[in-house]
Structure 1
């Protein structure tokens, strides 16, 4: 005779599932709080900052090579070359390298401009390769071997350096320990739409609250890939440009600082660049940054954590190299928001649990404050601009699924294809309503949009008002990215 067997009741199963969901939600929120706490730290350090005085001029100017890595940039390459040739710097000390990997008509545009400026006495040359091995990093390394300048200024195709860029920044290298100088990015097209303005505000926050604060507190700082100058010796001493990550700029920055080189940040020198004005361009850029940052973290964080650097400097480097894990955390919070609301309404979880959630939710105000501070410092019309801060949150949420995929790819694979961010200058290609190929991601984003909209309506009916702004903002982000991605550039 078989012994009496008991089966777990449906109530106990529900209790087990609710505990699992509650634990998962809490873990995601705690993880997110780690990064919002870091934002508060950056705000605090910014408040107590001591303003730095740029070095005085009056020294002998060194030779400089300007490197322009380009790939199929027919819309902006002419504007770029003409602007660089206007730089106020002794012509006998200035070399211009156009690192052209293009496969379209960009090459013929470049050749015409190079011929024109060579006739006018400029030391300007085109360097081409038979393959795109290493993509941008490979092109920069190839140019490095041929550069005659002691210092290398680098500009992406969509950036427009001010005429006095070199004169104002080269003095920083009077300090022999300075390996690179990074200027602040400005924005050519931030007023095109709320979408570009939201991106601009996010970038301003990065430069004003992160780059400057890190530089002034002797923390790891990033050369942002464009709008800066490198000491050639520092690049060579650090091993040159590597091709095993998609963020060659971040990789070299970290390796150089581990070798003892300093990177200086100057927010008084602004180099305007183009912001992606379509969802697909933004996806391309952000996905590459996410994947490359994770790859760089895997590559260099063990060495950083084993070093003799201070604990806070290690913590800051960890935050910087793992920041894109915020997106999986946001996605997890979005997924579990509805059941958490349901559990609260039906008293399935203890009150102490929701008290903990309330305390952790203080972090929700970190980034809005963070961005508001940067806008107030830079723009006279900052009060108008900060109204678009919720759109940054919508952008982050709308990209969370896409970035989560990129984070996983970064964890699993080194390198990868460098997909350039399309730049259009004054051109604005038309949008076709028929997608060129099937991509399931926009449909998943639309499903998330519907789910979060329903969650928001449920919370509204049940008077759970605190979470409403987040749910509706998240829903808007998913809807916007999903719908825009179903339309492609013709």
Structure 2
């Protein structure tokens, strides 16, 4: 890229930056501003904002009518009403003036006035969720001019040199289809729940993604903070909305074409972790249900593929999908929250000590990815066991393809809310609402574990009551809604 500077802007490849959005009212300005701040020739980059917002309070700017306008019907108002009637677009009552503008469109126009090549795209029907938005965005005529596409979710804020540190890998290595970078979390210290998330995701990036890239094995696209070669993306079949993990679906199809991926861990992109438990719960449902449902649909495609070796097929089916995406969730919940507690009540069922401590010892390795949080490893194990309940439920929903299998709820991010609520912290004790705070499943499992612990104290000799009381407490804490950040609802 440095040599290209001497040849002028024409030597730089054309890059498309896609930012899919849906109702992210607190973070859209941050992500659009970061994308527009990327260091790249302005005539060789296109910023594409894909807005799927449905909330009128977010989509349209507020407008206050003046009393004089309300009392007098001007010629402009009459002409607007007539035009609206002629086009059969009457909505019954006019709450917005004819000059209303989408908030995100206004933001895009503000950056366009500064010379940024930015496009604001909306679609009438929100089919396919994020995959549908990305697919429709790729159909725009100006995309044909681009060589590479960068994807950032609405809460991601890349550094200005992001393209200079990623694009060269694709320019000089034609066999590479994807360059994936690492996520860096700006709110990891917000609560104990965000610290737990940081530990899990750091292990994913530092170990799973790094190793998968280093040994040229398969690793999944994270859906954001990555750069695709557009020709490779099209060769893999483009975006499909058959599951809620469209990023993993695309990566699987590209991998079966023999395309290579590269993980560049030293390039970090700032992002935000889910702060509320509801948001985290919805995210984990999608991340567990989606891969299980995708496995159901691509297993035979992997078996029949002729472009990859039998060893890679075995790795994809057994290790990547069966073990990492399905078995791990079921084993953690069934063994540690059902079978192990039952041994205190049913003495005929015996679990050797090595079996009980094997997985916790292995999970200690996860904490090594976040050394500063190593002292929280016990809380992390207890919290992961609680979340295994939701992941197990999501896995079965995905495998059986029932219920909420195709449910997509946008992960709510708080953005600047935390800095605008009376200082830098959000009040920790909002008004209690039973329907919003109680988690019935967690409470049920918590009472089961507590009963087994009491039974072990009274009649047992295994000493498991220490673990059972700790684990039941974790379920109760989550069940009564005392986890994550709480933002009181305003009138």
Superposition TM-score, scaled by structure 2 size: 0.79
The one of 338, 342, 353 aligned to 1:335: 338
Partner of residue 92, structure 2: none
Alpha-carbon shift at residue 95 of structure 1 (Å): 0.2
Secondary structure of 2:19's counterpart equals strand
Partner of residue 22, structure 1: none
Does the aligned pair in 1 maintain the 2:184–2:271 contact within 8 Å? yes
Are the structure 2 counterparts of residues 250 and 432 from structure 1 closer, same or farther at C-alpha, using a change threshold of 3 Å?
A: farther
User: Do residues 156 (structure 1) and 175 (structure 2) align?
Assistant: no
Are the structure 2 counterparts of residues 320 and 468 from structure 1 closer, same or farther at C-alpha, using a change threshold of 3 Å?
A: farther
Alpha-carbon shift at residue 87 of structure 1 (Å): 0.7
Matches within 5 A, 1:78-93: 78-93=29-44
Provide the rounded CA distance (Å) in 2 between the counterparts of 1:454 and 1:200: 32
Matches within 5 A, 1:116-195: 116-146=110-140, 147=143, 148-173=145-170, 174-195=172-193
Alpha-carbon shift at residue 136 of structure 1 (Å): 0.2
Are the structure 2 counterparts of residues 367 and 316 from structure 1 closer, same or farther at C-alpha, using a change threshold of 3 Å?
A: farther
User: Do residues 433 (structure 1) and 427 (structure 2) align?
Assistant: no
Secondary structure of 1:417's counterpart equals coil
Q: Deviations over 1:117-136 (max 9, x none)?
A: 11111110111010110000
Does the aligned pair in 2 maintain the 1:279–1:485 contact within 8 Å? no
Are the structure 2 counterparts of residues 263 and 470 from structure 1 closer, same or farther at C-alpha, using a change threshold of 3 Å?
A: farther
Range that drifts further, 56-65 or 123-132 = 56-65
Alpha-carbon shift at residue 436 of structure 1 (Å): 4.9
The one of 423, 426, 430 aligned to 2:413: 423
Q: Deviations over 1:25-65 (max 9, x none)?
A: xxxxxxxxxxxxxxxxxxxxxxxxxxxxxxx8645421111
Q: Deviations over 1:399-418 (max 9, x none)?
A: 23322221122112286132
Superposition TM-score, scaled by structure 1 size: 0.79
Does the aligned pair in 1 maintain the 2:302–2:313 contact within 8 Å? no
Provide the rounded CA distance (Å) in 2 between the counterparts of 1:391 and 1:182: 30
Are the structure 2 counterparts of residues 411 and 89 from structure 1 closer, same or farther at C-alpha, using a change threshold of 3 Å?
A: same
Are the structure 2 counterparts of residues 87 and 473 from structure 1 closer, same or farther at C-alpha, using a change threshold of 3 Å?
A: farther
Provide the rounded CA distance (Å) in 1 between the counterparts of 2:311 and 2:346: 40
Range that drifts further, 386-395 or 70-79 = 386-395
Alpha-carbon shift at residue 281 of structure 1 (Å): 0.7
Does the aligned pair in 2 maintain the 1:78–1:109 contact within 8 Å? no
Partner of residue 320, structure 1: 320
Provide the rounded CA distance (Å) in 2 between the counterparts of 1:255 and 1:233: 14
The Cα RMSD (Å) is 2.5
Matches within 5 A, 1:360-371: 361-371=357-367
Matches within 5 A, 1:187-206: 187-206=185-204
Provide the rounded CA distance (Å) in 2 between the counterparts of 1:473 and 1:231: 49
Q: Deviations over 1:175-217 (max 9, x none)?
A: 1111111001110100011110110110000001100001111
Partner of residue 101, structure 1: 52
Range that drifts further, 408-417 or 293-302 = 408-417
Alpha-carbon shift at residue 359 of structure 1 (Å): 4.7
Provide the rounded CA distance (Å) in 1 between the counterparts of 2:482 and 2:441: 11
Provide the rounded CA distance (Å) in 2 between the counterparts of 1:332 and 1:72: 37
Provide the rounded CA distance (Å) in 1 between the counterparts of 2:43 and 2:278: 42
Matches within 5 A, 1:218-367: 218-307=216-305, 308-311=308-311, 314-315=314-315, 317-322=317-322, 323-333=325-335, 334-344=337-347, 348=348, 354-355=351-352, 358-359=354-355, 361-367=357-363
Are the structure 2 counterparts of residues 74 and 488 from structure 1 closer, same or farther at C-alpha, using a change threshold of 3 Å?
A: closer
Matches within 5 A, 1:364-443: 364-372=360-368, 374-375=369-370, 382=371, 384-413=372-401, 416-428=406-418, 431-436=430-435, 442-443=439-440
Unmatched tracts of structure 1, length 5 or more: 1-55, 376-381
Structure with higher helix content: 1
Alpha-carbon shift at residue 242 of structure 1 (Å): 0.5
Alpha-carbon shift at residue 270 of structure 1 (Å): 0.5
Partner of residue 481, structure 1: 478
Secondary structure of 1:265's counterpart equals strand
Alpha-carbon shift at residue 137 of structure 1 (Å): 0.1
